[in-house]
Amino acid sequence: MLARVKTFAVDGLDTRRVWVEVDIRAGLPAFSVVGLADAAVRESRERVRAALLNSGFEFPMRRITASLAPADVHKVGPGFDLALACGILAASGQVPRAPLEDFALFGELSLGGELRPVRGALAIAEGARREGLSSLILPRERAAEAALVEGLSVAGLDTLRAVGDLLAGGEPPPQPVAARPRDAPGGGEPDLADVRGGALAREALEYAAAGGHNLLLEGAPGTGKTMLARRMPSILPPLAREEAFEVTRIHSIAGLHRGDGLIVRRPFRAPHHAISASGLVGGGSTPTPGEASLAHHGVLFLDELSEFARPSLEALRQPLEDGHATVVRGQRCSVFPTRFLLIAATNPCPCGMATLGGDRCACTEADLARHRRRLSGPLLDRLDLLVPVDRPAAAELAGPPGEASDRVRARVLAARDRQSARLAGTGIACNGQMEARHVRALVRLAPEARRLLTAAYARGTLSARGHHRVLRVARTLADLAGAERVAAGHVLKALALRGYAGRGEAAA
Ligand SMILES: Nc1ncnc2c1ncn2[C@@H]1O[C@H](COP(=O)(O)OP(=O)(O)OP(=O)(O)O)[C@@H](O)[C@H]1O
Ligand SMILES: [Mg+2]
């Protein structure tokens, strides 16, 4: 007897439809699985056998062959258990075959026959919808996530027995309620009001949020660099619906989503500096998204920038520029989106005391030179804003709280609105993403501002790339001020914001 069951294989951030065909015939008892399956899928034979028996079904003592087709798609992970088990049930006549036409099945089985949560429920549900299937059966914990896809009936079940009952004509469980994106990120996020002093750094944070500019914070230990960076998501605009779907899909496939519907907060990722290049941009024998993709539509925070290995930072160059990372392993190629806002933080010198004055800095000239060399790398070249973070004064530390995040965000939102009106039809969302041609076409300068910029360029302190970068930041400053044209003041400030300690110039 032959039975066919539909399921899906996750491939990068995409899904491919997979047929599980189960053939049972007379012969010595055996159970084999063919079709480019990895170790976890081959091991599923043991789980499926135990789960069937422990759920009160029969495990046929005959020759069972399961084929996962198409054979050229890699099948990875334990999510095929449920489809295999149901294939055996149908092929051995323990459940009717007809209802399987409408269902896709996805889930891991425990030996006792319970359904275990799996990664990638949203992507699987989108795949089922795309393939025109009407229903999806998966573990209950992932039902709310799958139910985000409209027009698909989702059955979240707890046990293989319940799946068997449903296929035998039982009542389906109620359609789970999907979480909807909220208008604004809810409470519980750290707020900018906690940060005292550091006026310049706070301003820079606002500019970075408003224009989508990458930012470097430099300051002595304990001045609040990490604190500031963590508060960035609280002043960014809320995720649009499509963005929230993308973030949820990525986090679910990476196994980081707990399955309660849509992720509505912008991600904040702060990988440790020992991270490898593939940990940062994605990789592995089964290409999985890296930190840069987990930070997609959110913030990637590289604390202690000078401690990151050169190859890791080099690997970030292409994703920073293109907004996606291409991972090639063997004959497989996956593309992961990486549109994040980069915040990097560093101490001014290896001991961290250089900016505190006096003779507290214990670094030698050689230490300082090495530190500068490590920083003046390819990454620094792609940062628009380089600002010092000063120690808050005693009065500031004891004083009233700083301006709260929601007030800053209101200004950021207004500036973003102006940008989206100007950038409509270009496919980009903010000033930080403008390429040279956009800058040329869309940034209008007051005559005095143009003279200033030309003079700075003529002095030789500015490269061609630096020139465009200054214009992008200046455009954001003008947007925050509600100005139609970029004025001289904006250009001056943008020049100052990227030239801190002369490093920006050196890098550009
Ligand atoms: N400007 C500030 N306002 C209020 N509290 C601050 C400020 N700066 C530092 N703190 C306090 O000090 C703690 C440490 O700050 P934080 O971790 O942000 O420092 P850092 O600059 O990242 O230091 P490091 O260079 O060692 O990483 C914060 O959790 C906070 O309690
Ligand atoms: Mg820190």
Q: How confident is the prediction for the chain on average, in pLDDT?
A: 87
Question: What is the model's pLDDT at position 506?
Answer: 39
Question: CB under 6 Å to ligand 1: residues?
Answer: 195-198, 219, 221-227, 347, 392
On the CB side of 407, how many CA atoms lie within 13 Å of its CA? 7
Question: What is the model's pLDDT at position 357?
Answer: 65
In this structure, the residue with its CA closest to atom 19 of ligand 1 is: 222
Contact present, 228 and 202 (Cβ < 8 Å): yes
Question: What is the model's pLDDT at position 302?
Answer: 94
Q: What Cα–Cα distance (Å) separates residue 217 from each residue in 191, 203, 208, 224?
A: 18, 12, 11, 10
On the CB side of 44, how many CA atoms lie within 13 Å of its CA? 27
In terms of residues, how long is the chain? 508
pLDDT at 434 over 70: yes
Alpha helices in 168-239 (DSSP H): 199-211, 225-230
Contact present, 254 and 119 (Cβ < 8 Å): yes
Give 398 Cα–ligand 2 centroid separation in angstroms.
21
Considering every ligand atom shown, identify the ligand nearest to the alpha carbon of residue 350 and give its number: 1
Question: What is the model's pLDDT at position 376?
Answer: 66
Sheet of 30-34, strands arranged across: 30-34, 63-69, 14-25, 2-11, 103-105, 135-139, 153-157
Give 292 Cα–ligand 1 centroid separation in angstroms.
25
Question: What is the model's pLDDT at position 183?
Answer: 41
The atom number, within ligand 1, closest to the CA of 195 reads 3
pLDDT at 435 over 60: yes
Neighbour tally for 332: CB within 10 Å: 13
Q: What token pair was written down for 278? A: 């593939």
One-letter amino acid at 463 equals: S
In this structure, the residue with its CA closest to atom 8 of ligand 1 is: 224
User: How far apart, in whole angstroms, are the C-alpha atoms of residue 288 and residue 301?
Assistant: 20
Least reliable range by pLDDT among 126-130, 294-298, 310-314, 475-479: 310-314
Around ion ligand 2, residues with a beta carbon closer than 5 Å are: 226
Question: What is the model's pLDDT at position 179?
Answer: 59
Question: What is the model's pLDDT at position 503?
Answer: 43
Distance of CA 152 to the CA centre of its chain: 26
Question: What is the model's pLDDT at position 472?
Answer: 93
Give 392 Cα–ligand 1 centroid separation in angstroms.
10
Question: What is the model's pLDDT at position 499?
Answer: 67
> Residue 179 has what DSSP assignment?
P
User: How far apart, in whole angstroms, are the C-alpha atoms of residue 480 and residue 489?
Assistant: 13
Give 182 Cα–ligand 2 centroid separation in angstroms.
31
Q: What token pair was written down for 204? A: 């820079």
Give 469 Cα–ligand 2 centroid separation in angstroms.
27
pLDDT at 298 over 50: yes
Rg (CA), the chain: 27
Question: What is the model's pLDDT at position 186?
Answer: 53
Q: Which pLDDT band holds residue 355 (cuts at 50, 70, 90)? A: low
Ligand 1 pocket mutation, candidates 192, 223, 306, 390, criterion most atoms within 8 A of CB: 223
pLDDT at 126 over 90: yes
**What pTM did the predictor assign?**
0.89
Question: What is the model's pLDDT at position 508?
Answer: 37
Least reliable range by pLDDT among 38-52, 128-142, 157-171: 38-52
Mean pLDDT of 461-484: 88
Give 221 Cα–ligand 1 centroid separation in angstroms.
7
Q: pLDDT digit string (tens) for 143-181?
A: 999 999 999 999 999 999 999 999 998 888 888 886 555
Cis ω for the linkage preceding 117 (within 30 of 0):
no
DSSP H or E run through 370: helix 365-375
Considering every ligand atom shown, identify the ligand nearest to the alpha carbon of residue 228 and give its number: 1
Mean pLDDT of 350-354: 75
Question: What is the model's pLDDT at position 366?
Answer: 83
Q: pLDDT digit string (tens) for 361-370?
A: 777 888 888 8
Q: Which pLDDT band holds residue 377 (cuts at 50, 70, 90)? A: low
Question: Which of 321, 215, 465, 390 shows the shortest CA–CA distance to 457?
Answer: 465
Q: pLDDT digit string (tens) for 327-341?
A: 887 777 889 999 999
